[in-house]
Structures are given as structure tokens and as C-alpha cells.
Structure 1
Amino acid sequence: MSPAPRRPERWQGSDTALRAVQVAFDVSEAVMEAVRVAAFHDNVSTSTEIRKVLGLPVGEKPKRPRLTVTLSAEDYALLASRYGLNAEDRLAIKEAATQELVAFHGSAVRSRKKAR
């Protein structure tokens, strides 16, 4: 039997992450909402909030705070049409969507100030 292929050194630190397993909990809407609201108020991900509730270790700061969404090929096509871009140019679509999210933030802040 031949030895396992040698991985680049920069990948060596990902061994723990590669062994991690994502777990989904089937709980009621009320439980999901409670976790999401607590995570929102703590300014952490729902994953981090679950770790806190379960008494598991939590990193001090998120490594890469970000928003995520899963996009299908059809979603990319819709967004490409919306932004006037080529559906194959996923980076440009991501950049346009990022700008839309930033603009959303600005309008949401203005709306909250106006409501006061």
C-alpha cells in the first residue's frame, strides 16, 4: 500500500475542520426563533449561539464575518439579468449583489431613523 499523498503545508491546519461534522437539529419554529434572536442580539452566527447554549468552546472573534446564501444556476441567471451581466461572470454578479446588500443597509438605517 502506498503512503497517502503529501498535502501542501498551508493545508495542514485544516485537518480538524475536515474531520468536523455538520449537525442539523429538528426543533420547533419557536426554538429556531429563540436561537436566531439570541444570536442577533449577541451579534454572532446561529452556529456560534448554538455552541454557546450547548456549552461548547467558541472562538473569541469570528474569523470571517460574512453573510451566506446558496445560489443555483437559475439564481445566477436571474441576478445576471437583473444586473445586466453575463450569467457566467459569477464574480461580477457577487460584487453587484454585495453592492445591493450595502445599499439595503443604508436604506434600512434611514428607515429606522425615520421611524423614531
Structure 2
Amino acid sequence: MSKPIPSRWQSSDTAIKAVQVAFDVEETVMNAVRRAAFDNSLSASDQIRLVLGLSVATKPKRPRLTVSLSEEDYRILGKRYGIDPDERLKIKEHVTQDLIQFAQTTEDK
């Protein structure tokens, strides 16, 4: 017998039951989806949902970029910025500034 879902989790019930699906497609398809997603200020996942005629969350998402960093990456970045590799928040702040500078120099071209 399964336990009832706590009321505070019931709104997440649908998301919990969702299954992520990966599609093996040619690079041209991936690029087209990514380009359309970028042009529409959407995630690739939301762009795929639009293409398929599925609903897309209208709630604005916090714009952010993500990257996975290993212990070795933190050591390299710590050395680059002259920061202890365990000072991850400080490293994140420096990386954020590097990304902002990258965007500014890219826009100037």
C-alpha cells in the first residue's frame, strides 16, 4: 500500500512522474533546435515542446548558465584567480565576471 503524497508535494506530482527523453539526431537537427530556442529565448527542451505542440511553462525561469566542474577544474580555476580551490563561491564570482566580460567583448565585434 502506497503512502499518500504530502500536500506540499502534490503540485510537483506531475513533474515527479515526468520522464526525460533523449533523441539521437543529426547535428543539423540539434543546431536548428538550439538556434530556434536561442532566438525564442527558450531552453532547447521548451523549444522541442513547442515543435511537438505540447504546453510550455509560461512562468518565467531564472536565466542562468550551467557547467559541471570537477575537483581538478576548481584547482585550475583557483590557481588562475589566486584563490584557494575550496573557496568555490569566490571562484564562481570570478567565473561570472569572466562570462560577463566575454559577452561584452563578443557584442563589440
1:71 pairs, out of 57, 69, 72, with 69
Count of residues in Structure 1 that have an aligned counterpart in Structure 2: 109
What residue identity is the alignment partner of 1:102?
Answer: I
What residue identity is the alignment partner of 2:94?
Answer: A
Unaligned runs of 5+ in 1: 112-116
* Partner residue in 2 for 1:114: none
What residue identity is the alignment partner of 2:81?
Answer: Y
- Residues 35 and 102 of structure 1, relative CA distance in 2, 3 Å threshold: same
* Partner residue in 2 for 1:90: 88
Q: Distance in 1 between matches of 2:102 and 2:71?
A: 24
* Partner residue in 1 for 2:20: 22
- Residues 93 and 17 of structure 1, relative CA distance in 2, 3 Å threshold: farther
**TM-score, with structure 1 as normaliser:** 0.78
* Partner residue in 2 for 1:46: 44
What residue identity is the alignment partner of 1:24?
Answer: A
Unaligned runs of 5+ in 2: none
Q: Kindly, what percent of the aligned residue pairs are identical? A: 56
Q: Distance in 1 between matches of 2:82 and 2:6?
A: 41
What residue identity is the alignment partner of 2:48?
Answer: I
Superposed displacement of residue 104, structure 1: 1.0
**TM-score, with structure 2 as normaliser:** 0.83
Q: Distance in 1 between matches of 2:81 and 2:7?
A: 39
Q: Distance in 2 between matches of 1:76 and 1:7?
A: 39
Q: Distance in 2 between matches of 1:84 and 1:14?
A: 42
